[in-house]
Amino acid sequence: MPQPIASRPINVPEKPEQSEQVTEALQWGYSLANVIEIMTPCLDAAGIKSLLEIGSFRGELTEELLKWAEGSGASVATVEPLPPPDLLDLKERRPELELIEDTGVGALEGLDSLPDAIVIDGDHNYYTLSGELEKIAGMAGDDPLPFLLFHDMCWPHERRDTYYAPDRIPEDERQPLGHNCTIAPGNPGLSKGGLPYEWAAAHEGGPKNGVLTAIEDFIEGRPNLQLATVPVFFGFGLLWQTDAPWAGRVAELIAPYDNNPVLKRVEGNRVAHLVNGHVDAATIRDLTAQLARQDELFGRMLQSSALGLAEKLSNLKQRGNPIFTRQEIQDLLDRKVK
C-alpha cells in the first residue's frame, strides 16, 4: 500500500457498515480488503489451506481472510514488523491468527515450510520485494511455488519504489530518495502537490525501481508462471504456476478483470480525484496558516494606539470618509465581512 498519511475527510462516517467492508469515500483505499470478493474465489479455486500475509498494517485484509478461513478451514498467519493497536486487538479477538512480528524475509526464514499462498504487501520497493520473492523461490526449490498475490501493481508503486524504513535497504540498492515529498500521476519526478510519502524514489522508472519491475524480473527465466493484474485500488496482482492443477480455473476466474480497460479508466479517475483532494487539502492548509498569521497581525494592530491615531488622521484628511476603520479590521477578524 501506499503509506497513508491522509487526514480524515470531513462529512465521512466514522466507520463503514461492518457487512460492507469497503473503502470510505475520499480515503486512500489502501487495503486489499477492497478486492476480497475477487481474491477469495481464487483462493478457493486453488484449494488454499494455509496463507501468509506479508504486511498487515491495521489488519483490514487479515480480518477478511480470517472470515474466509472460517469456511475454508485454512490457517492464516500475518507478518508485521510494527503491529499497530488495531492489529494487536484483532489478534486478541481472533486467537487462531498467527501474528509474526518481523519483516517478510525474516518471517519466511523462520518457517518450516512454505504456505499454499502468500499475499505480499509489505515494503513497496524493488529490493524488498525481490528479496522476498527470491527467498520464496529458494525455499520452494524444485517444488511448485505458492500461489502469490500482490498489492500495488499499478501507480504509484508500479515503477517507483517507496520505503517504510530506508535504512533497512543497503544504500547502493536504493533509489535516490525524496523525503516528505509528494507525487502525482504523469510526473516522473517529485511534484509540488499530490500523494504524500515519507520516503519515495525521487524518480519513477528505470531498472530496479517499483513493484511491477521486481515481479517482471522475477518472472523472467521462469516461463511456467502466469501473471494477472486487476487494475483497481492501486492494483491487485496474482502469480501462479501454469502447471498447477487449479491453474485453468484461476485463469478463468480472473480473466474478466485482468488488465480490464474499463477498470483501468475507473482507477485512473479515482487516483486523479485522490491526488487532487490532497492538492486542495494542502492549499487549504497553507491558506489557513496564512490567515492565522494575518489575524495575529491585525490583532496586534488593533491593540496599538498608533492605529487609532492613523484612523483619526485618515478621517480628517478624507473629510469623514477614512480609508480604513478599526471596526472594519475587527469585523474581518470576527469573520463578519462577506
Where on the chain is the footprint of ligand SAM (CB under 6 A)? Answer: 1, 30-33, 53-57, 60-61, 79-82, 103-104, 121-123, 128, 164
Would you say 55 or 194 has its CB closer to ligand SAM? 55
At 145 the three-state DSSP class reads coil
Look at residues 83, 28, 30 and name the one whose alpha carbon lies nearest to residue 56.
Answer: 83
Strands 75-79 and 177-183: unpaired
Would you say 129 or 184 has its CB closer to ligand SAM? 129
In sequence order, the 6+-apart residues with CB closer than 8 A to the CB of 114 are 136, 139, 140, 143, 146
In the complex, minimum distance from the CB of residue 30 to ligand SAM, in angstroms, rounded to a whole number: 5
In the complex, minimum distance from the CB of residue 65 to ligand SAM, in angstroms, rounded to a whole number: 9
Would you say 63 or 204 has its CB closer to ligand SAM? 63
Would you say 85 or 221 has its CB closer to ligand SAM? 85
Q: Report how far residue 320's alpha carbon sits from residue 313's, in angstroms, rounded to the nearest whole number.
A: 10
In the complex, minimum distance from the CB of residue 110 to ligand SAM, in angstroms, rounded to a whole number: 13
In the complex, minimum distance from the CB of residue 94 to ligand SAM, in angstroms, rounded to a whole number: 15
Would you say 86 or 217 has its CB closer to ligand SAM? 86
Cα 25 from chain centre: 15
In the chain, at which residue ranges do the beta strands (DSSP E only) sit?
50-54, 75-79, 98-100, 117-120, 147-151, 177-183, 195-201, 225-230, 236-241
Would you say 103 or 182 has its CB closer to ligand SAM? 103
Residue 175 dihedral angles phi and psi, to the nearest 5°:
-75, 155
Residue nearest to ligand SAM (CB): 1
Look at residues 180, 144, 177 and name the one whose alpha carbon lies nearest to residue 5.
Answer: 180
Would you say 127 or 240 has its CB closer to ligand SAM? 127
In the complex, minimum distance from the CB of residue 105 to ligand SAM, in angstroms, rounded to a whole number: 7
In the complex, minimum distance from the CB of residue 240 to ligand SAM, in angstroms, rounded to a whole number: 19
Q: Report how far residue 73's alpha carbon sits from residue 67's, in angstroms, rounded to the nearest whole number.
A: 10
Count of beta carbons in the 10 Å neighbourhood of residue 127: 19
Look at residues 301, 329, 323, 319 and name the one whose alpha carbon lies nearest to residue 311.
Answer: 323
Q: Examine residue 185 and say whether the peptide bond preceding it is cis (omega within 30 degrees of 0).
A: no
Would you say 81 or 194 has its CB closer to ligand SAM? 81
Count of beta carbons in the 10 Å neighbourhood of residue 299: 12
In the complex, minimum distance from the CB of residue 5 to ligand SAM, in angstroms, rounded to a whole number: 13
Region class of 306: left (phi > 0), else alpha (psi between -120 and 50), else beta: alpha
In the complex, minimum distance from the CB of residue 27 to ligand SAM, in angstroms, rounded to a whole number: 12
